[in-house]
Amino acid sequence: MNYETLIYSKKDRYAEIRFNRPHRLNAVVTEFYTEILDALDKAEHDGDVRTIVLTGEGRAFCVGADLKEHGKGERTDLEKLEYLNLGNDVCQRIYEHPKVVIAAVNGFALGAGCEMSVSSDFILMKETAQIGLPEISIGTHVGGAVTEILPRIIGLAKTRELIFTGRRIDGKEAHAIGLATRVFSEEEFDAGVREFAGLVSSKAPVSMRFAKQHLNDMHQDYKSRLTTEIAALRTCMLTKDWQEGVDAFAEKREPVFIGN
C-alpha cells in the first residue's frame, strides 16, 4: 500500500510509522487513521519486525483532529461517528498490538496525538516536545480509553489535572511524573530512540508478547494472574528462544532470539 499520510520503513528489527502531514502538524483526518491501522497490520505480520516506533515528520508528533477539516461541516452524522470510532480503533490497536509500540514524541502531541502516545507501551520525548489533552478546553472529550489508562501511569490526581485544565507539559515534566520513559535533547533524540528500540527489539518476542498482554489486562484478579502467568511461562519453555536464553546465560553471552 502506498501511503499518503505516513511513511513506513524498517530499521534493524523495528518498523517506523512516521506521520507525514507536516503542513498541518500531522493533524488527523480519516485517511490518516485508516493508514495507521494498515501499517500496524503490516508490522504485525512481518516476522522481521519486533518493535514498532510511532513518530512525526516536522515539528509535531500529532496535534489531534484537523479542525480545518472539521470546520468545513461536510460530514454527515454517520461519517462523524465513523471518524470517532476510527480514533478509538487506532488507540485500541496500539494498546492491544502483539508487538511493543513506542511513541517517539518529537514535538507537539495533543489530543489524539496524546491518546495514541498513552496507548503505546513506552513514550520517549524530546525535552522541548509538549504533550497534552486540550479536549475539555474546546468543548469536546478525550477518547482512546485515556481515562482508564492514564491514571494507571501517572495517578488519578495528576490525570485529573491534565484533563481538566488541558495544560501541556514538556518532556522533562512528563519524565518527572512517570509519563515519559526517556527524555532526550534535540541532538540526542534520534539516536536515543534507535538505541531504546534496538534494546527492546533484542528481547524474546514470545516472552514480550505475553508480558504485554499481562501488563495491559486490567480485569484479572490476583489468583487468575498466577494461573495465566504460569501458562505463559510453560509456553515460553517450549520455544527455541527459551533454550537460547538458557544457553546464552550459561555461556556468558548475549542471546540471539529468533521469535519461536
pLDDT per residue over 107-122, tens digit each?
A: 999 999 999 999 999 9
**211 and 186 inside one domain:** no
**18 and 132 inside one domain:** yes
Domain boundary among 178, 201, 224: 201
Asked whether residue 260 is domain-assigned, the answer is: no
**118 and 212 inside one domain:** no
- Domain of residue 148, residue span: 6-201
**115 and 172 inside one domain:** yes
**156 and 237 inside one domain:** no
135 is catalytic: yes
Query: Where residue 72 falls among pLDDT bands split at 50, 70, 90?
Result: low
Q: Which of 125, 113, 133, 121 minimizes the C-alpha distance to 95?
A: 121
**225 and 166 inside one domain:** no
**238 and 109 inside one domain:** no
Domain count for the chain: 2
**128 and 214 inside one domain:** no
**CATH code for position 53:** 3.90.226.10
pLDDT at 70: 61
pLDDT per residue over 202-260, tens digit each?
A: 999 999 999 999 999 888 889 999 999 999 999 999 999 999 999 999 999 999 999 99
Residue with cell 515534566: 173
Asked whether residue 256 is domain-assigned, the answer is: no
Choose, from 16, 35, 57, 135, the residue flagged as catalytic: 135
pLDDT higher than 70, residue 73: no
pLDDT > 90: what percent of the chain? Answer: 88
115 is catalytic: yes
Choose, from 115, 148, 161, 173, the residue flagged as catalytic: 115
